[in-house]
Amino acid sequence: MNQRVEILQALRTIKDPELDRDIVTLNFIADVKIEEGNVTVHFRPDTAKCPLLDQLTSEIKQKVLQVEGVQEVEVVIDHPKQDEPVEAEQEFGGVQDLNHVKKVIAVMSGKGGVGKSLVTGLLAVSLRRKGYRVGILDADITGPSIPKIFFAGRPEVSYSPRAMLPPVSSTGIKVMSINLLLKNEEDAVIWRGPLVGRAIKQFWTDTLWGDIDYFIVDLPPGTSDAPLTVMQSLPISGILLVTSPQGLADMVVRKAANMASQVGVPILGIVENMSFFKAPDTGTEYEIFGPSHADETANALEIPVLARLPIDSNIAILCDQGKVEECQVPEFNAVTAWIERVTPDCQLPKMPA
């Protein structure tokens, strides 16, 4: 075998632990020069101040020295971007080859405040608990709440010249939201539909998501242009519709269903949130917001009601504290089981032995 190929193969066994990819795939090897057993590897890490530089450099030396015929190895660090500011817009967009997303599920509601972000969060948490690799895209540009329910403080997005690296929650869920890119999280974002769509597309293409089994998108509320653009921008497998007893106006749900059929995306089912309150002392259930209409609507649309979730102050408290991953909502299990059932090609990743 060609010595250069052997060297590159050896380099392919070195993984950047942060990016979870080998340094050749990541394009960190700018050049390999060979002169009678003397090898010079030009190493160009993605970030100017790569924290693992020493470790990676010594690994490169070690691995290349093991290749037959190699006597000496020099590693030259190329820092072409060291003194330049990160020109995000010029450089981004080249990581799609590193993203492998199996299923995209969008969470949608006809109206705001019914618990869409909670359902997005619970779905991500329960799939993660089962061992799937999960990412969340908070596409609700105007009122993003996903980072708030997953993190106690404001997590940092890391940047490399090629991509944004999403913050990872305590159980390993990758989260991206416009909220994390704003200077002040109180800054209002007032954009029209097409712009929102473009931003969402960029979150999809310019974020290093890596291998994801379930990618869950918290769509903007309502049935305006913005969610439609989002749905057309991403390869969505199915939509989960969230309602509450008081929010379930027939018209709103029909609108949502129309929109889904416009883009040819199936609605996987309805989750009715805040359906009842169960008194902790007596166990009696009270329908605080009135009786459920979920079954009628589901029948009309020929889709199943997957769950009816209780009003539970623990949920609200944990979400406020950024601890949605600690929520226990047994009623939600049926939703997760259904999602697994209707996306059968999304097998659990094999755990390393």
Ligand X SMILES: Nc1ncnc2c1ncn2[C@@H]1O[C@H](COP(=O)(O)OP(=O)(O)OP(=O)(O)O)[C@@H](O)[C@H]1O
Contact residues: ligand X, CB under 6 A:
109, 112-118, 140, 143, 145, 221, 273-274, 309, 311-312, 315-316, 319
Q: Which of 109, 117, 273, 343 binds Mg ion (CB under 5 A)?
A: 117
Q: Looking at beta carbons only, is 145 or 177 nearer to ligand X?
A: 145
DSSP 192: -
Output the smallest distance, CB 117 to Mg ion, in A: 3
Q: Looking at beta carbons only, is 92 or 332 nearer to ligand X?
A: 332
Of these partners, Mg ion, ligand X, none, which one is at the site of residue 47 (CB under 5 to 8 Å by kind)? none
**Gap between the Cα atoms of 325 and 126, Å rounded:** 9
Q: How far apart are the first and last CA of the chain?
A: 31
**Gap between the Cα atoms of 166 and 177, Å rounded:** 9
| 134-142, 175-183, 187-195, 281-289 -> range binding Mg ion (CB under 5 A) | 134-142
**Gap between the Cα atoms of 209 and 102, Å rounded:** 12
Interaction pattern, residues 138-167, with Mg ion; x per rule: CB under 5 A: --x----x----------------------
Output the smallest distance, CB 282 to ligand X, in A: 19
Q: Which helix (H) or strand (E) holds 220?
A: none
Of these partners, Mg ion, ligand X, none, which one is at the site of residue 274 (CB under 5 to 8 Å by kind)? ligand X
Output the smallest distance, CB 141 to Mg ion, in A: 11
Place of tokens 């990758």: 174
Place of tokens 């997953």: 150
How many Cβ atoms sit within 10 Å of the Cβ of residue 157? 16
Minimal CB distance residue for ligand X: 112
How many Cβ atoms sit within 10 Å of the Cβ of residue 216? 25
Q: Looking at beta carbons only, is 47 or 145 nearer to Mg ion?
A: 145
Tokens of residue 165, six digits: 């690296």
